[in-house]
Amino acid sequence: MRHLILSAAIPALLMGATPVLAQTSTAAAEDKPVCYDCSGPDGAALTTQLPPPHFPHDLTPAGVAAADDHLALEQVDGAEAMAFVAEENRKSLAVLTGDPRYETFRAEAQAILTATDRIPTPSFLGDGIGNFWQDAANPKGVWRRTTLDSYRTATPQWETLLDIDALSKAEGKDWVFKGADCLAPDDTRCLINLSDGGEDAVVVREFDLTTKRFVDGGFSLPEGKHRIEWLDRDTLLVATDFGAGTMTESGYPFIVKTLKRGQTLAQATEVYRGEQGDGGYGVSPAVYRDKDGNVTAVIITRPLDTFRSETWQLVDGQPVRLELPARVSIHGVLNGKLVFTAEEAWSRRGKNRNAGDLLAEVLEVLHPATAAGDIVITNASDMIFRPETRQAVADVRVLSDRVVVSYTDNVRGKAAVFQDRGEWGWPRTDITVPDNLAVGLGDSSKARGEVFVSTQGFLVPPTLSLADAGAATLTTLKSAPAKFDVSRDVTEQFEATSTDGTKIPYFVTRPRDMKLDGSNPTVMLGYGGFQVSLNPAYKPEMGKLWLERGGVFVQANIRGGGEFGPDWHQAALDGDRQKAFDDFAAVARDLEQRRITSPRRLGIYGRSNGGVLTSVSITQHPELFNAAVIESPLVDMLRYHELPAGASWIGEYGDPRIPEEAAWIAKYSAYQQLRPGQPYPRVYLTTNTRDDRVHPGHARKFAARLGDMGYDHLYYEDTAGGHSNDADPVANARRWARHYVYLSQQLMD
């Protein structure tokens, strides 16, 4: 299985806060208010106070909806919603683009995002190298290829395969390229994914690389959130919308069928069926191949919720459930063994494995006992790599006889190669990489035994290398030029102590000679969810627009992320979500104690799940911050499951339809927790009309309620681009300019 995928990536509740009241949604509550936070940060009892004015009288879905006076803003293209967007955009653009800094910021950001000296992200494509490229002349981009020898040079000779700007113009569509899936080993037939306006939903068309044309009468799927794999040249495995009753409540497929060339979706043959009540991102087929393109295994993942799943193997066309942990990440197949990370502690047949262990097990041994019989694999070791306490597996590439692994050690990148030696285990050879940088794995080739490897840091531009897995060596291919002056800056790592005593690491990038007097304008980035790690990254637009102007950048590695493996993530799941918010607040206080900054000069930024973090941080701790960029956010956590594709995240946040879970979600949900008379800073909310991953209604409603309460705020909604902001680098430059104008106004002026 190989794809070219393109994408661009909180102490007790409050310090000095007032407790609030919740009502359970059960009849037993008898309409009596229940104090759900009746103690201060030191555990002392506080006086019970009234709930926020818009807090629901009951937490059933009907009760939550009844208390919501902005439901009309959930209609994506509704008349009232679009009128609201137009008026908010008008007011906010006057403030942001009218600032004398805006045009300078926009021009600087565009120069960076469209620069032709960027490293072209490579993928192995047949005998050559593929790349998708966007610049000022091609804002929608071109898919192109060259040879590896040419790619190594300073001026590769590129052959255009598909021009998205030209295609959009010819077809009158706002096409956004969302990747290509090519059939190994020759990669001459590809499935092209095209999004109209940047949504996650795509149309799929078969493309011939030899003619550089779409195939007449070839495979073609209408717009949808498809899960597709090549089975052979004339057969696809497809999970998609097959009609009424074939999608989950999250809007994802739960049925897999084989689709033969020339067939319609209605004629496809079912090979696997989950259930309509399944959670997560929908059932997903994966076809694994050897270096010659022969199929070695077909694996189907059926998600039960955001993180738990069942894993099935198609054997002679019939699904067989594999005995794997419910929380698992599958990386590939090598010598008949499934390579996977156990994302939870796991015991099976006398073996005990830790959460985070990288393992390899013979597929037949993973079959149920009734199917596996008395299969015994003599002395075969399943343990590839066990991370230490402050380590975590970051990425894995499975080759023909080796596995290449990038991992983090206290949020610093490392890499190693592990060779499959059967009964002699998995001998390890470390790959020498620069110290104190992030290490990322790119595309890999089993036929060549090679993997693209990138390294970068906050002040170190990316370097792209090619790893020879057999020799465990790196050969530098390209190094990106510096896009901002780093001569005055330094990056340091500190730790803050959260409410429960947990040490929370964070990075500070700042001027080397900065005075520690609390006066330094500082932006703090956080995420804290979905086991997503925030590793050191070169952010050229941030460096140019913020660091060069004397700003400080902080990246907080709070719980909920994956920086220290599955346990770091699961510590902040569901009812423990408050730990992530506590961690973020602890970092803010630590910055103040170190005199790096002060609340007057501290702003925060988060998008998507980071929008939960930032909106909650403002409502719980307005005394800590003077700015917040809240982008593409989840904010109404009592209705997030009602807004596509929110129900797929119930495994992360909990289910607001369950009274107990609604009660603890309500404690932090920023939309319901807004109160009058609070020292909230002027926040900047921004989202995208065509975002079909995190519904724009979240940001709209939060802005509307802020306005209802008389709070100054800024709201801007772009009308194209989707969730990932990868549709157009020129538009993306305007986005970053707006962000940094706002941050400059709040923190520097």
Positions marked catalytic: 608, 723
Let me know: does 594 contact 494? Beta carbons within 8 Å.
yes
Let me know: does 506 contact 493? Beta carbons within 8 Å.
yes
**CA angle at 223 for the pair 217 and 229, rounded to the nearest 5°:** 65
Pairing of strands 123-125, 34-35: unpaired
Let me know: does 679 contact 622? Beta carbons within 8 Å.
yes
From the list 606, 620, 569, 591, the residue with the least C-alpha distance to 495 is: 591
What is d(CA 70, CA 86) in angstroms, rounded to the nearest whole number?
16
* DSSP state at residue 525: E
Q: Tokens for 230?
A: 């090549």
Find the distance separating the first CA and the last CA of the chain, reported in whole Å.
52
Q: Which residues of 191-218 are buried (b: 16+ CB within 10 A; e: fewer)?
A: bbbbbbbbbbbbbbbbbebeeeeeeeee
Q: Tokens for 343?
A: 């994302």
Omega into 53 within 30° of 0, i.e. cis?
A: no
**Residue 714 host element (H or E):** strand 713-718
Pairing of strands 337-342, 346-348: unpaired
In DSSP terms, which residues pair with 358 in a beta bridge? 341, 385
What is d(CA 570, CA 462) in angstroms, rounded to the nearest whole number?
31
From the list 90, 92, 97, the residue with the least C-alpha distance to 741 is: 97
For 363-468, list the strands marked E by DSSP.
383-385, 391-398, 402-409, 413-419, 428-430, 438-445, 450-456, 463-468
Phi and psi, residue 534, nearest 5°: -100, 100
What is d(CA 590, CA 408) in angstroms, rounded to the nearest whole number?
24
Phi-psi region of 219 (alpha: psi -120 to 50; beta: other; left: phi over 0): beta
